[in-house]
Structure 1
């Protein structure tokens, strides 16, 4: 029941927070893709940030923090399957702009850095400065470089890709949107602090380890805002905003690992987590690669008249990742 309450709280507050962010973006005159990558991605990733911080500081459960971040990346990419299923006619990858490959590529690099260091640190050959792993500095630099590079690309191609959408919130003011944003954030913070303890108790009660719970259940719950805002943006006709939100959330989730490492004072965080998290990292990298193939190749055929083969590959990879984690968790 406690877990269900957390789900309900994030499920209600998350979409409300995303809508407020969308209003703020509209009132400030920001473009759709940039809104998805920066504003919506950071907003919808707020649960992962709060859960990671509370997991390493209050609950002392680094597996929950890292599992949630990497599991959310896998779950976010699986949401592309939902978009492709909702898209009637041509594949969703034929409508999306090729520019998403840039943020997806940076996602592969950042997730790869985390996955590699999970294995290195557990093998005792990782480097660190004090209690902070060397990878944290690399993640921060790469994340800043990604934001700068994508910003420059968006600025250069703005005239070609800015979405022309009529004002959707004429009845709302910027002040009111900011108020709704603050209220939604407060509820998500409260649920985010509570959720790691509930996940830990659930793991003991059900006989699961924190790795499995953190990677699948908690990641799915904290990705509810991404799912809600992505589907909402899609229904508004802002497909690029929806995809940019998912890919931007993955970048932000890897930055959260760096934040968690700084807050975790018992040593580099990746040296205190299960090596099985490398499976989630590799799965996310493979899924991102599949998405890049779809964005560049733009397939026409759809399997079973419902989804494209790119989405089918993403779905299969998600199932494989879930199965491996469940069977081989430590």
Structure 2
């Protein structure tokens, strides 16, 4: 028992440190290649911080524990929005951009609806798993193409604005500006190092996964000693443990002013959990799901995702930030779900 407690405590300490390293690496790469922060959040942070969910669910499927695999994925999705994002916006409110309510959140709603539809008969087959993985490829392609297109448009506008600042030869006394030239000595700007960015990203991601696994192992050991069911372990202990990278990474990104990266992390992680984590588990072995997963957990996942879309849409239309009121609402939803889960724990 004491070994499990030590694994959890040390894992948490390493997790906090590795998240900072991970965010620093992602930010450096985004700056180096002029990639939008939201895209970095969706691809690198979203997928990278979902690695623990993927490892746990794949192992659970291989060991014949489908409830643990699904509970981990869907429980993590609920926690990512209700707890992780709720806590993040309490610290640092997020400005909602048009494409988030026009493209990204509707896409997440559509994928969530697909997950619910596939579970209508209580079985996830090999075909269902393949559909989820094909959908993942399509979603990632859409995200990459559109985000890079938006980045190129912004760059063109920036070049146009800088061109307008150029002074004609008739006014030699006025300062002239040259596109793309920055006096590093005067501004103190330091060009991000590619090697350093990649190293920070790799080390941070590796330590995130290792520390999360230590936390999950210790938590499962403790929960097993208390006689908690496999599904409840997946929805609570494992889901919270594997969502710790998302929590720490999002809080770290928000603290550093990378708001798009924080929101992109949540959306990307949930997309990856639903499509890749569940898809891989279903391909390994067909999953016969506990009926309560659809009537309780998938229902809550759908409602909390819809609530996120509505609150973000309201923030965008009213020209307000997605902030503390929404954060408290999401945390209240997480509390209500947890109470419901405890009450139905023996079902």
Provide the TM-score with structure 1 as the length reference: 0.79
Structure 1, 241-250 or 100-109: larger mean CA deviation: 100-109
**Residues 50-69 of structure 1, C-alpha deviation per residue, up to 9 Å, x if partnerless?**
22223333x54332222121
**Residues 183-233 of structure 1, C-alpha deviation per residue, up to 9 Å, x if partnerless?**
334434445555665444333311211212211222222222212222222
Q: What corresponds to 1:114 in structure 2?
A: 115
Spell out structure 1 runs of 4+ moving beyond 6 A.
166-169, 299-302
Q: What corresponds to 1:250 in structure 2?
A: 270
Q: What corresponds to 1:40 in structure 2?
A: 45
User: How far apart, in 2, do the equivalents of 1:228 and 1:196 lie?
Assistant: 15
State how 1:79-158 maps to structure 2 within 5 Å: 79-87=84-92, 92=93, 95-101=95-101, 102-121=103-122, 126=123, 128=125, 132=126, 134-158=127-151
| Residue 97 (structure 1) shift | 0.7
User: How far apart, in 1, do the equivalents of 2:218 and 2:292 lie?
Assistant: 22
User: How far apart, in 2, do the equivalents of 1:46 and 1:289 lie?
Assistant: 25
| Residue 243 (structure 1) shift | 0.8
Q: Greater CA radius of gyration, 1 or 2? A: 2
Q: What corresponds to 1:65 in structure 2?
A: 69
User: How far apart, in 2, do the equivalents of 1:39 and 1:4 lie?
Assistant: 26
Gap runs ≥5 in structure 2: 159-183
- Which secondary structure state, in structure 2, belongs to the residue aligned with residue 29 of structure 1? coil
Aligned with 1:268 (options 262, 272, 286): 286
- Which secondary structure state, in structure 2, belongs to the residue aligned with residue 208 of structure 1? coil
Which of structures 1 and 2 has the larger relative contact order (alpha carbons within 8 angstroms, sep 6+)? 2
User: How far apart, in 2, do the equivalents of 1:22 and 1:211 lie?
Assistant: 37
User: How far apart, in 2, do the equivalents of 1:11 and 1:274 lie?
Assistant: 35
User: How far apart, in 1, do the equivalents of 2:256 and 2:196 lie?
Assistant: 21
C-alpha RMSD over aligned residues: 3.1
Q: Is the 8 A contact 2:87 2:331 kept in 1?
A: no
User: How far apart, in 1, do the equivalents of 2:81 and 2:188 lie?
Assistant: 27
Q: Is the 8 A contact 2:80 2:246 kept in 1?
A: yes
Distance 1:169 1:242, change over 3 A: farther
Q: Is the 8 A contact 1:74 1:283 kept in 2?
A: yes
Distance 1:190 1:238, change over 3 A: closer
Gap runs ≥5 in structure 1: none
